[in-house]
């Protein structure tokens, strides 16, 4: 049976881990701490799916050394926690272990094999290179999660909207290991699909999140209110046009217009982004992987992005004034 470890049993990690464990095709463990660890040990995975709560067993520990080698490791922590988490993962990894970062924004490996960026690491995401050192890219499968969930209480998560999980080889193409993981996720009801260009899938998701997340954090507005305001909507569109130009330079073209994307996003209604939820809960902002990384890539390419720069500056200052953004920018 496939051994799967979930690193970060928050909202997204719990949906993936809980569904895999409930399906019974994997032996699922979790690396967790505090109240979440205590809840997992007492109750196992608990998912609220519609009107019912589904539970499944889990082996939960605070230390990777207690869990031992794994076949698949899903990383579902906040971006600011990744460096410290990555340094502790070595007991989970063997030569063939697959690492799947199910996280928001641009991953640490994104610039590798992009000639225009000379393969240099993103300092906004991996400032000292410790993440790349702890998790070699040959272990990684790229991942994009289109969906949302919320933690009702430690260890109890509600799946609020789930569309699909996209997985693929970081630098393109197909592979047997990606297909095996696809089958495992699909059998667990995770609506997974594979991609031969997962880097472009990552950029496409970022293209929408890069504006909606920080603007909602700044304003306290749900997505419907953001898109109802013509001035704010056009500001978001302008930043998205800049990001589309940057994406085209790094081999991740966007075929849609901002208005195309807004037409899809507005259907979510009065939806709270993850960054707005973080502000309301007093959690640190995942700004660097979502906005700072785009700003950094644009600077390396010599491209002007005044709207993205303004968004980064305002959201960074907002976070610093509230103690929610300790890094303080790139």
Q: Which helix (H) or strand (E) holds 148?
A: strand 142-153
Residues facing 27 on adjacent strands? 3
In angstroms, how far is the first alpha carbon of the chain from the final one? 43
Query: Distance between CA 246 and CA 88 in Å, rounded?
Result: 34
Catalytically annotated residue among 3, 42, 205, 272: 205
Query: Distance between CA 313 and CA 48 in Å, rounded?
Result: 38
For the record, the structure tokens of 304 come out as 């002007």
Residue 299: DSSP 8-state: H
Strand 142-153 versus strand 156-168 pairing type: antiparallel
Based on the residue annotation, tell me whether 205 is a catalytic residue of this protein.
Answer: yes
Residue 273: DSSP 8-state: P
Strand 45-49 versus strand 26-31 pairing type: unpaired
- Would the CA dihedral through 316, 322, 324, 330 be positive or negative? positive
Contact 162, 192 (CB under 8 A): no
Residues in the chain: 330
- Main-chain phi, psi angles of 29, to 5 degrees: -120, 170
Residues facing 158 on adjacent strands? 48, 150
Reduced to 3 states, what is the DSSP secondary structure of residue 149?
strand
Residue 76: DSSP 8-state: -
Nearest one of 160, 165, 67, 172 to 110, comparing CA atoms: 172
Q: Which residues are catalytic?
A: 205
């Amino acid at each position: 049976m496939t051994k799967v470890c979930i690193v970060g049993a928050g909202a997204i990690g719990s949906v993936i881990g809980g569904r895999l464990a409930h399906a019974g095709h994997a032996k699922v463990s979790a690396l967790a701490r505090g109240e979440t660890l205590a809840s997992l040990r007492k109750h196992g995975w608990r998912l609220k799916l519609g009107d019912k709560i589904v539970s499944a067993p889990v082996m939960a520990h605070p230390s990777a050394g207690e869990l031992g080698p794994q076949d698949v490791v899903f990383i579902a922590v906040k971006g600011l926690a990744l460096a410290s988490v990555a340094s502790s993962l070595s007991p989970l990894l063997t030569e063939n272990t697959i690492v799947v970062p199910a996280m928001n924004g641009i991953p640490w490996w994104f610039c590798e094999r992009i000639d225009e960026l000379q393969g240099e690491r993103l300092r906004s995401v991996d400032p000292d290179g410790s993440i790349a050192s702890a998790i070699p890219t040959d272990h990684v499968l790229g991942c994009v999660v289109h969906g949302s969930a919320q933690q009702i209480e430690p260890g109890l998560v509600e799946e609020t909207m789930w569309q699909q999980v996209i997985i693929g080889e970081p630098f393109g193409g197909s592979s047997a290991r990606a297909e095996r993981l696809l089958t495992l996720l699909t059998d667990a009801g995770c609506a997974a699909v594979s991609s031969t260009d997962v880097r472009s899938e990552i950029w496409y998701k970022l293209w929408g999140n890069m504006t909606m997340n920080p603007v909602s954090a700044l304003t306290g507005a749900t997505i419907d209110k953001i898109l109802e305001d013509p001035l704010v909507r056009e500001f978001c569109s302008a930043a998205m046009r800049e990001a589309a130009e940057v994406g085209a330079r790094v081999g991740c073209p966007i075929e849609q217009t901002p208005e195309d994307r807004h037409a899809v996003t507005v259907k979510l209604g009065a939806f709270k982004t993850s960054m707005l939820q973080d502000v309301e809960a007093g959690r640190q902002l995942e700004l660097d992987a979502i906005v700072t990384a785009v700003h950094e890539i644009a600077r390396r390419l010599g491209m002007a992005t005044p709207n993205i720069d303004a968004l980064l500056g305002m959201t960074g200052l907002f976070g610093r004034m509230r103690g929610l953004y300790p890094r303080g920018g790139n």
